[in-house]
Amino acid sequence: MAVHLSAPDAAALLPIAGVRIGVAEAGIRKAGRKDLTVLLLDAGASVAGVFTQNRFCAAPVQVCREHLAGTQGIRAMVINTGNANAGTGADGLARARQSCAALAGKLGLSQQQVLPFSTGVIMETLPVERIVAGLDAALADAQADHWLRAAEAIMTTDTVPKAFSAQLLIDGVPVSITGISKGAGMIRPNMATMLGFMATDACVAPALMKQLAAELADGSFNRITVDGDTSTNDSFVVMATNQAAHAPITSLDSAAARALRATMLGVAQKLAQAIVRDGEGATKFITLRIEGGTTQDECRQVAYAIAHSPLVKTAFFASDPNLGRILAAVGYAGIADLDQTQIDLYLDDVHVATGGGRHPAYREEDGQRVMKQADITVRVLLGRGAASDTVWTCDLSHDYVSINADYRS
Amino acid sequence: MAVHLSAPDAAALLPIAGVRIGVAEAGIRKAGRKDLTVLLLDAGASVAGVFTQNRFCAAPVQVCREHLAGTQGIRAMVINTGNANAGTGADGLARARQSCAALAGKLGLSQQQVLPFSTGVIMETLPVERIVAGLDAALADAQADHWLRAAEAIMTTDTVPKAFSAQLLIDGVPVSITGISKGAGMIRPNMATMLGFMATDACVAPALMKQLAAELADGSFNRITVDGDTSTNDSFVVMATNQAAHAPITSLDSAAARALRATMLGVAQKLAQAIVRDGEGATKFITLRIEGGTTQDECRQVAYAIAHSPLVKTAFFASDPNLGRILAAVGYAGIADLDQTQIDLYLDDVHVATGGGRHPAYREEDGQRVMKQADITVRVLLGRGAASDTVWTCDLSHDYVSINADYRS
């Protein structure tokens, strides 16, 4: 069902010096599937993360935040699918810590050097003993070229593994970037997580990592939505192993930093967009481009109002150019002084509405033509200022209802 | 498909002294259906309205606001289905005024004494000439006991007409209240409107009407949601014909005002809940009761986060007690200092979660039993304060997608 998205080629994914990955079948929820991943980092890596804003955040998210705030370098990650360890109270926290301690013990690390990640059903007890029992097999599997295996092992309702690489030169030295993700984000919050992991061998001062991760998330994962639900477990981790032979980046304003960030953002956007393209039941990939706002925030607010409207989403599913639904969503986006007579609306190249009303030259068959495409760009001109923003989303289909009504059975 | 909702009995609806209603088949969108209603008020009625907050409000909403702000008493209303006259720019405004002028001309009134209402598809030109041509037939039909005919004539995708009456004594004098509504509200915003009309023969000073209408809307129509979309046309009008023989109500703090308001609120809530019960594709009616908040606003915010979560709504459709989805929605409702360890969750009488985790005594079969009911109450205890609030909503089914994907065809 994924919209214009195919599985990555393992050979196209670049290993990152200083990162090894191993997976195992731990039988966490179902037998016979890869559901446990360990990611091992050489000493000296810079690591930062961005996590869900949900106040009901899962136990592993709470532990990640603690461990990343510590002074010991992060050296390993343990990731399971099948169970989100969310809504599990103090017992869930203890189990998340137990999984870190078990992996730390096997690697001669402190528990604070391990980050835990879980994704799956909410409000069920994490079978941590199965994770612990699976660690040896996962560690034995650890290799630098196992990114695709990890992309597969973190899938839940995803139909396609998501992994992308890129390269650039810094001071003439080749630097590699590889990232993987799995749906959910605001997409499959019940499954219950967007997970994203991105590594580079570039040399980035640890003090810069938090801001870099935030900027990358802001331009990618924070620009996508499927159903507006924000997961309890959303996590995006960025690692720089500092093994490439260029001069370390110590300022995000340097030319090297800008080049690295742009290339990393390209990978992050592909990872984020892949989640939407593989959205539950998605048949259309929709780019919402809002221009002419007074601030970027108000543009994003309008984009999300459109992206979250079930009426707009069902119209895209039906390829029905029922475009008044888009104007209505713009109207309730929460801009108090919006002047509807200044609004223009485009569907790809088709000028649908002008001055808040139907464009005189707009013909329904032109709207219909664009609506039938699998990739559609909606442009709204607010006529208020010079700010703009972009959000990516998908349609709402019968399959979305089926998948979410039947998911646990 | 409507959940526990049957058509009203015409005989149970009370005529209101000073109100007459007539309907006609004007062929506005389709031939052979009642699509035009006129409501005639004797001189001296007190009238107020509450309208959509959507900045893309429809032309008739703009005209209603103007005419209600005028000093001439409102004497008539003209209501059409089949076309919302929204997203229609200056031409739409002219057409809305034209319909008022035509009815005013036939009644010897000024155009400012007429309120227009439209509901139907957005962004299409209102065929005002058909409305004008249908007025004579509608006026010839005008009778005091035609409330049910009006409830039928304002329907769009509604499957059941919605009309309720109530009576009370003020100073020993019987006072009657009758109201009608049609779905949409935040439910069928594209159709594109919730419309509600409520009349009483009670004597209420004109100066009090605006606040009375706002309070009634706040406790009823502003407490319902189906899909979170806010219509361009939502309108709720309250009329007091001042024909009952009790001493006029001149303060909303008087005992008579409190009694009248409570009885009117009962009717308004029935009208609002009927819209949810008849929600597009609805198979469940869900009451969301949020308690223990610091303010009523934050309780409502939590209730709406739950009510608008597609994941929660599909779980209700599937009768699947996947209740972590509710906790996740509470978590992203936007309360920055929410402490998840204080949250309790009940499904009717079943205690599902306590202290943010699964209740030790909770058994899935108990949740399942409640989820299978057609009427379900979800109670969330925030553990922060003494405020509470209630919102009514419905589930999200395959039929919702079908109805909205296929609506215009």
Of B55, B88, B401, the CB nearest to A314: B401
Q: Is A309 exposed, middle or buried (0-12, 13-18, 19+ CB in 10 A)?
A: buried
Residue B29 predicted with pLDDT over 70: yes
Range of the domain at A356: 285-406
**Residue B185 pLDDT:** 41
**Residue A185 pLDDT:** 42
Judgement on whether residues B290 and B222 belong to the same structural domain of the protein: no
**Residue A9 pLDDT:** 84
Contact B192 A408 (CB under 8 A): no
Q: Among A249, A277, A305, which residue terminates a domain? A: A277
If pLDDT is split at 50, 70 and 90, which confidence band does A95 have?
Answer: very high
Catalytic residues of A: 193
Give the C-alpha separation, A59 to A120, whole Å. Answer: 13
Q: Which two tokens stand for residue B320?
A: 């699947």
DSSP strand pairing (B235-240 vs B195-200): parallel
Identity (one letter) of the amino acid at B103? L
Q: Minimal Cα distance from A316: which residue of B?
A: B405
- Residues of chain B positioned with their CB less than 8 A from the CB of A229: 309-311, 325, 328-329, 332
What's the Cα-to-Cα distance from B331 to each of A328, B335, B337, rounded to whole Å? 28, 8, 10
Predicted model pTM: 0.81
- To test the contact with chain B by mutation, choose from A190, A316, A317, A368 the residue with the greatest count of B C-beta atoms within 10 A, namely A190
Contact B357 A398 (CB under 8 A): no
Q: Which two tokens stand for residue A256?
A: 């090297």
Q: Which two tokens stand for residue B54?
A: 């959507």
Contact B231 A328 (CB under 8 A): yes
pLDDT-wise least confident of A160-174, A375-389, B117-131, B178-192? B178-192
Judgement on whether residues A165 and A116 belong to the same structural domain of the protein: yes
Q: Minimal Cα distance from B91: which residue of A?
A: A357
Residue A4 falls within a domain, yes or no?
A: no
Q: Among A252, A277, A302, which residue terminates a domain? A: A277
The count of residues in chain B is 409
**Residue B156 pLDDT:** 84
Judgement on whether residues B159 and B298 belong to the same structural domain of the protein: no
Other beta carbons less than 10 A from residue A207's beta carbon: 10
Question: pLDDT digit string (tens) for B252-273?
Answer: 999 999 999 999 999 999 999 9
Residue B3 falls within a domain, yes or no?
A: no
Judgement on whether residues A240 and A267 belong to the same structural domain of the protein: yes
Q: How far is CA A80 from the centre of its chain?
A: 17
Question: pLDDT digit string (tens) for A41-77?
Answer: 999 999 999 998 888 889 999 999 999 999 999 999 9
Q: Among B242, B277, B312, which residue terminates a domain? A: B277
Give the C-alpha separation, B125 to A98, whole Å. Answer: 65
Question: pLDDT digit string (tens) for B302-361?
Answer: 999 999 888 888 889 988 887 888 998 998 898 989 999 999 999 999 999 999 888 999
If pLDDT is split at 50, 70 and 90, which confidence band does B406 have?
Answer: low
Judgement on whether residues B270 and B376 belong to the same structural domain of the protein: no
**Residue A225 pLDDT:** 77
Contact A353 B398 (CB under 8 A): no
Judgement on whether residues A373 and A263 belong to the same structural domain of the protein: no
Here the CATH number for the domain that contains residue A50 is 3.60.70.12
Of A230, A335, A343, the CB nearest to B332: A230
**Residue A308 pLDDT:** 86
CA–CA–CA angle B45, B119, B191 (5° rounding): 140
B37 carries an active-site annotation: no
Residue B409 predicted with pLDDT over 70: no
Judgement on whether residues B301 and B254 belong to the same structural domain of the protein: no
Give the C-alpha separation, B225 to B187, whole Å. Answer: 6
Give the C-alpha separation, B207 to B211, whole Å. Answer: 8
Residue A1 falls within a domain, yes or no?
A: no
Query: What percent of chain A has pLDDT above 90?
Result: 69
Residue A372 falls within a domain, yes or no?
A: yes
If pLDDT is split at 50, 70 and 90, which confidence band does B194 have?
Answer: confident
Question: Which residues pair with residue B325 across a beta bridge?
Answer: none
What's the Cα-to-Cα distance from B301 to each of A226, A247, A323, rounded to whole Å? 21, 50, 29
Mean pLDDT, chain B, as a whole number? 91
**A86-108 mean pLDDT:** 95
The complex scores an ipTM of: 0.73
**B30-44 mean pLDDT:** 96
Q: How many domains does chain B have?
A: 2
Nearest to A159 by CA among A273, A317, A1, A47: A1
Judgement on whether residues B157 and B236 belong to the same structural domain of the protein: yes
Provide φ and ψ at A268, rounded to 5°: -60, -40
Question: pLDDT digit string (tens) for A181-190?
Answer: 998 544 433 3
**A388-403 mean pLDDT:** 86
Residue B92 falls within a domain, yes or no?
A: yes
**A344-355 mean pLDDT:** 95
**Residue B407 pLDDT:** 52
Residue B5 falls within a domain, yes or no?
A: no
Judgement on whether residues A370 and A330 belong to the same structural domain of the protein: yes
Here the CATH number for the domain that contains residue A297 is 3.10.20.340
Residue B2 falls within a domain, yes or no?
A: no
**Residue B222 pLDDT:** 86
**Residue A280 pLDDT:** 77
Nearest to B119 by CA among B143, B72, B86: B86
| DSSP letter, residue A353 | E
**A135-164 mean pLDDT:** 95
Judgement on whether residues B251 and B273 belong to the same structural domain of the protein: yes
Nearest to A59 by CA among A131, A105, A118, A134: A118
Judgement on whether residues B107 and B220 belong to the same structural domain of the protein: yes
Residue A2 falls within a domain, yes or no?
A: no
Give the C-alpha separation, B210 to B204, whole Å. Answer: 11
User: Are B190 and A310 in contact, with CB atoms under 8 Å apart?
Assistant: no
Judgement on whether residues B331 and B251 belong to the same structural domain of the protein: no
